[in-house]
Amino acid sequence: MRNYILCISIILLISLIKGQDSDVSVIKFKVGDVAPNWSLKTESGKFEFLKNWTVKKHRQLRKPSIQPDRHVVLFVFFATWCPPCVDQLQPLEEVYQKYKNDKIKFFIIDETDPDSDAPDTRTMLSEKNITMPYVVDDWKIGSRYGVRAIPTIFIVDKYGIIQNIRTAFNEDEDFMAELSGIIDPLLR
């Protein structure tokens, strides 16, 4: 809990320095809104696009000849310096393993500044046996989504509609059951 408070305090301080109000929730989007597209570099240097997997009804996916099926997409805004983000990795990996063969894509959106003294993302994920793919952001997408606290999870349905926004992580909750309760109906 102490680490969580420290993480939130840092984000509040950054928000105040930037002249923003102190609301730590997601401020730009809510459940039911269309998720803005993003394009982010993967660890291998290629780009991943949200619209490869989900787009609004009556629209085509970005490359339908290569990838014709719509997917649910779960992405989490994360940084290696954030203790709740790190604590959430293993439970999130368990959810990923449960669904990795279904029509759902998972992404860790890494907000760690590569020039900081924070732990290296690739090394941390490898040491913790996290196999979920990650993409690199520099708060451009996080800002576009209005993310003001991490970790923040977005779950987007097959038609690009935000179905759930989950901020923070509590070790005492049944993370798998909660996320499964959201994901299972979306996969039907």
> In this structure, what CATH number is given to the domain that contains residue 79?
3.40.30.10
pLDDT of residue 61: 92
The whole domain housing 68 covers: 2-187
Q: Where are the alpha helices (DSSP H) in the chain?
A: 2-17, 83-99, 121-127, 140-144, 175-187
Number of domains in the chain: 1
Q: Would the pLDDT of 2 be above 70?
A: no
Burial classification of residue 161, based on how many CB atoms lie within 10 Å of its CB (0-12 exposed, 13-18 middle, 19 or more buried): middle
What's the confidence (pLDDT) of residue 114?
86
Residue 66's pLDDT band (boundaries 50, 70, 90)?
Answer: confident
25: pLDDT confidence band, cut at 50, 70 and 90? low
Residue 6 pLDDT class (50, 70, 90 cuts): very low
